[in-house]
Amino acid sequence: MILVVGGAGYIGSHLVKELVNIEEVIILDNLSTGFRSLVDSKAILIEGDLGDEAVLNDIFLKYPIKAVMHFAANSLVGESVQDPYKYYENNVASTITLLNTMLKHDVKNFIFSSTAATYGIPNVDIIDEEQPTNPINPYGRSKLMVEQILGDFAHAYGLHYVVLRYFNAAGAHESAEIGESHDPETHLIPIILQHLLGQREKISVFGTDYDTQDGTCIRDYIHVTDLAKAHILALQALLSGKKNTAIYNLGNGKGFSVKDVIDTCEKVTGVKPNIEYADRRPGDPARLVASAKKIYEDLGWKAAIDLDEIIESAWKWHKSQMN
């Protein structure tokens, strides 16, 4: 049985949809940003907080948990600058409670959702895991702190872990039963699609004077189902003893500018957008593109879904939400 913390959220629910086919799944989620409706009916959902030791103890006593996959976090960069306590409390302190309780019950396999934000502003075009980590906001720092804690816990307590640093997660499940639901929504692709469905007046492009080909920021968009598959390979590597500790980037290895993404959305949907060119959003690096070579070499994982398909899947989901 696998415990998925934050399994009612966007990325966690997509992982659960794949994982229920091969393992029994129990989800712990406080539904602060997640939704009961995203949870697969084959999984057990416990509504509770990951910082609540009593709830965690009950779970580890009652269920034979082999591994924990930890998606739960607050993850809005701007909010983390305004309210760092919330981020260090939920993303770091509560994660320590989770790790400590796991270890007390002799559960030693852990998969952690980290982020490209741990790299800060990189000075290379393609980022591999050897690049220095230098996060520029409390959100990125909270994730890097947990990565460092995992290293120390592995050394001292024999914890086995895989850290997955996602670049820009996007898209929806092929069934269109689940997809990206954040409230408020801050991510580029859902914002564009909501606009094209008439739910927003316009799209604001944040910054046109970056040192990139068309002046807008470049990102590496990765489909949630590709992310889910990487988690399953990481889980199998931990459970089989093939890997004890590892850090991997998860991305497509291809960069698309904000303008490229808007153009692709227009092509996929056939709807013309209303675009406003606005100032830069604070804290945005000009370019974040992954090298995911390491996880390919170690576990054979490679992203399979390209930007057109990512947007097609997201469009299908957003249209289904209109009804």
Ligand X SMILES: O=c1ccn([C@@H]2O[C@H](COP(=O)(O)OP(=O)(O)O[C@H]3O[C@H](CO)[C@H](O)[C@H](O)[C@H]3O)[C@@H](O)[C@H]2O)c(=O)[nH]1
Active-site residue set: 139
Of the pair 30, 142, the CB lying nearest ligand X is at 142
Q: Which amino acid would we find at residue 294?
A: K
Token pair belonging to 193: 């699609």
- Element containing residue 315 per DSSP (H, E): helix 307-320
Alpha carbon distances (Å) from 104 to 25, 61, 247: 21, 11, 24
23 binds, options ligand X, ligand NAD, none, Cβ within 5 to 8 A by partner type:
none
Q: Which residues pair with 169 in a beta bridge?
A: 222
Site mask for ligand X (CB under 6 A), range 120-159, x = bound? ----------------------------------------
Of the pair 49, 266, the CB lying nearest ligand NAD is at 49
Stretch that binds ligand X, among 22-30, 34-42, 122-130, 203-211 (CB under 6 A): 203-211
Token pair belonging to 77: 């960069």
- Shortest Cβ 115–ligand NAD spacing (Å): 4
Under rule CB under 6 A, which residues in 41-100 are in contact with ligand NAD? 49-51, 71-73, 75, 90, 94
Of the pair 187, 316, the CB lying nearest ligand X is at 187
Cα(56)–Cα(98) distance, rounded to whole angstroms?
A: 7
Contact 62, 1 (CB under 8 A): no
**Among 11, 15, 99, 311, which residue sits at the site for ligand NAD (rule: CB under 6 A)?**
11
Please choose, from the candidates 252, 250, 9, 234, the residue with its C-alpha nearest in 3D space to the C-alpha of residue 114: 250
31 binds, options ligand X, ligand NAD, none, Cβ within 5 to 8 A by partner type:
ligand NAD
**Among 66, 281, 316, 319, which residue sits at the site for ligand X (rule: CB under 6 A)?**
281
Cα(40)–Cα(319) distance, rounded to whole angstroms?
A: 20
32 binds ligand NAD (CB under 6 A): yes
101 binds ligand NAD (CB under 6 A): no
186 binds ligand X (CB under 6 A): yes
Contact 309, 225 (CB under 8 A): no
What backbone phi and psi angles, to 5 degrees, belong to 234? Answer: -65, -40
175 binds ligand NAD (CB under 6 A): no
